[in-house]
Amino acid sequence: MGLLQINKLNIAFKSGESLFEAIKDIDIRLNEGEIIGLVGESGSGKSVTSLAIMRLLEKSANVSGEVLLKDIDLLAISEKEMQAYRGNEIAMIFQEPMTSLNPVMKCGAQITESIVLHLRLNKQQAKEKTIRLFEEVKLPEPNEVFNKYPHQLSGGQKQRVMIAMALACNPKILIADEPTTALDVTVQKSILELLKRIRTERNMSMIFISHDLGVIAEIADEILVMYKGEIVEQGAVKDIFNHPAHPYTKGLLACRPNPKLQLTKLPTIADFAKESNGEFNYTKLKISDLQEKFKAADEVIHKNRKLLYEAAPILKIENLSTWFPKSKSFFSKDKVFTKAVNDVSFEVYPGETFGLVGESGCGKTTLSRTILKLIKPTRGKIIFDGKDISGFSDKEMRPLRKDIQIIFQDPYSSLNPVKTIGEALIEPLIVHQTLKNNKQRKDFMIDLMEKVGLTASQFNRYPHEFSGGQRQRIVIARALALKPKLIICDECVSALDVSVQAQVINLLKDLQQQFKLTYIFISHDMAIVKHVSDRMMVMNRGQIEEIGYPEEIYHHPTKAYTQKLINAMPMGINLD
């Protein structure tokens, strides 16, 4: 028997008059010092399983089976008894540290509170232990972090505070629920290395949850693949990667861009298995077969590039800087500035996908908002379609808004929750007085919805009735509505499952061909940017590190920073 043994776990939730089966008869065994990777898309049951182990599910959940910690069934004990195990024996790191940390409490106080409660130490002893924990998770200047609020820390630092909090009571088991999903690849790599080191030093067992098999391969000993509440495949990491048996596993492995390959489109789960009435219709395709089918021919790439760069650029950025005043010295008139974008120059050509990659804080988003004139540039020129718009007023910019559109990272916050998607889609057409009346606008938008993979029957539904991938399709349709000349995609797939991400990337490429679109594609993920881009630019601390063709930058980077981004990419294991 393992340290943690889950037997015949079933979880159901009330859905109207019926029950929705979230987990169906699953078994998991976690041994001492072992890391199990739990992988699957949103809705597969990963997080529900972890919450069941922690006894954090809503009271209305219908739960049966056993969760045995040694000989104790955690599902059978009282809530008061469970409190002795939660945090002490089993701790959990959640996906989004900003929502897990109390924004009005200093970071140190949030951890000392737990230590005083569980370990019965006094406040001074708890503070000393917290600072030692901050040192263990490699937080810079731990004494200062102790007195900072969560909003004063970076994403990676907040996640390290969450890890320190989980380690505070010396648990035997750590559950990490998507702990790196929202982080840059470099920060992600450091968090994975930290967790592996903690496992070794403390002989701690771990359940690591992710939708990305590439990330799982970096840390886990064994993988369990979940789909719609069931474990469809499990085994050692090398076995799963080199010989995936289930079509769903093949799809998850294949749909993440492989930076070593140049593909015209990404494989998706649907290429390996068609689902009908909840059952898979298997295909016998190998991942390598499909990748060979989608492999881009070098001569075609070169021909397309030659055509792209014969035209005049649609966007030309000359010595652009966007600075923000940081502070003003009491004794000096000189201001200190944060140079978010500093003396940047580049061109984007009609029909091109211009990739922009770099870590959080490198200036990518500030640059995109400056191009859109949502932020006023400090100096430099923004030449769009032959006109220098850098000095344009809001009134002068208004007619140009239809020509430059943006797709944001989070589609849910981009949509008004009290408006139907039909209303949201038609609104820009009304603002810019496009077409004669609302009937024509509705017909036009329904046609566009169908082009992005939605249906006319969804026109009057609200945003909360759609999945993340569907919401992103809605936002894409809205961006296309005004027939723009340039679309800025600002981390527009980073919040999606890898399988949905592949579908959206393929859609963007198809729409580009159909509507002759030009993209600036922004991401912190080098693999995705390499796949979608005709050229790519690497940014660091507001400046350009290098610009070039994706395969040249990937195989022959000229800057150490670019090499660091490449080294941090989760590579997984060779396929097939």
**Distance of CA 196 to CAs 241, 389, 542, Å?**
20, 50, 32
Domain shared by 289 and 166, yes or no: no
Among 170, 197, 229, the domain-final residue is 170
Quick one: which of 502, 437, 451, 438 has its CA closest to 479? 451
- Residue 513 vs residue 154, higher pLDDT: 513
- Total domain count for the chain? 3
CA 60 to centroid of chain Cα atoms: 30
Is the residue at 141 inside a domain? Answer: yes
Residue 117 belongs to a domain: yes
Print the domain residue range for 152.
96-170
What percent of the chain clears pLDDT 70, i.e. is strictly above it?
Answer: 95
> 332 and 292 share a domain?
no
The domain that holds 367 is classified in CATH as 3.40.50.300
269 and 123 within one domain? no
List, for residues 393-405, the tens digit of each pLDDT value.
999 999 999 999 9
Instruction: Return mean pLDDT, the chain.
Output: 90
Is the model's pLDDT at 366 over the cut of 90? yes
Tens digit of each residue's pLDDT (9 = 90 or more) over 424-471: 999 999 998 888 899 999 999 999 999 999 999 999 999 988 888 898
Confidence label for 273 from pLDDT (cuts 50, 70 and 90): confident
Does 572 score more than 50 pLDDT? yes
Same domain, 337 and 372: yes
Element containing residue 8 per DSSP (H, E):
strand 4-15
Do both 489 and 378 map to the same domain?
yes
pLDDT band at 187 (very low <50, low <70, confident <90, very high): confident
Q: Is residue 248 part of a domain?
A: no
142 and 285 share one domain = no
Do 262 and 330 belong together in one domain? no
Q: Supply the DSSP string of 248-299, one letter for each residue.
A: HHHHHHHSS--TTS-BSS---GGGTEEEETTEEEE----HHHHHHHTBPPHH
On whether residue 378 sits in a domain, the answer given is yes
Amino acid, res. 538: V
Same domain for 305 and 290: no
Whether 504 has a pLDDT exceeding 60, the answer reads yes
pTM here?
Answer: 0.87
Structure-token pair, residue 412: 């849910």
59, part of any domain: no
Reported as a single tens digit per residue, the pLDDT across 534-569 is 999 999 999 999 999 999 999 999 999 999 999 988
CA–CA separation, 29 vs 8, rounded Å? 12
* Residue 373 is assigned to a structural domain of this protein: yes
* pLDDT at residue 157 greater than cutoff 50: yes
Nearest Cα neighbor of 308 from 352, 347, 346, 354 is: 352
Q: Which two tokens stand for residue 175?
A: 């559950």
Q: What average pLDDT score do residues 242-250 get?
A: 90
Please say if the pLDDT value at position 390 is more than 50.
yes
Cβ neighbours of residue 242 closer than 8 Å, sequence gap 6 or more: 573, 574, 575, 576
Question: Both 279 and 317 in a single domain?
Answer: no
| 345 token code pair | 């120059």
**Domain check: are 352 and 399 in the same one?**
yes
User: Does some domain include residue 455?
Assistant: no
Secondary structure of 32-95 as H, E, C letters: CCCEEEEECCCCCCHHHHHHHHCCCCCCCCEEEEEEEECCEECCCCCHHHHHHHECCCEEEECC
265/131 same-domain check:
no
- Examine the fold and report which residue of 143, 170, 197 is the final residue of a domain before the chain moves on: 170
Read off the pLDDT of residues 86-140 as tens digits, 9 standing for 90 and up: 988 999 998 776 677 899 999 999 999 889 888 889 999 999 999 999 998 888 8
Which of 51-55, 178-182, 274-278 is modeled with the greatest confidence? 51-55
Query: Within 10 Å of residue 561's Cβ, how many Cβ atoms?
Result: 18
Least confident of 65-69, 98-102, 302-306, 404-408: 98-102
| Secondary structure letter of residue 395 according to DSSP | H
Query: On the CB side of 74, how many CA atoms lie within 13 Å of its CA?
Result: 25
Q: What is the mean pLDDT of residues 181-185?
A: 77
- Say how far apart CA 522 and CA 152 lie, in whole Å: 25
Q: What is the DSSP string of 148-186?
A: --GGGS-HHHHHHHHHHHHHTT--SEEEEESTTTTS-HH
Which helix (H) or strand (E) element contains residue 404?
Answer: strand 404-407
**Are residue 308 and residue 273 in the same domain, yes or no?**
no
Domain stop point among 137, 170, 203: 170
Is the pLDDT at 575 greater than 50? The verdict is: no
Q: Does a structural domain hold residue 418?
A: no
Dump pLDDT digits (tens) for 53-64: 999 998 889 999
Nearest to 486 by CA among 316, 244, 329, 234: 316
Judged by DSSP in three states, 334 sits in coil
Task: Supply the pLDDT for residue 11.
Answer: 96
Please report the pLDDT score of residue 333 as a whole number: 61
Banded model confidence at residue 410, pLDDT cuts 50, 70, 90: confident
pLDDT of residue 576: 41
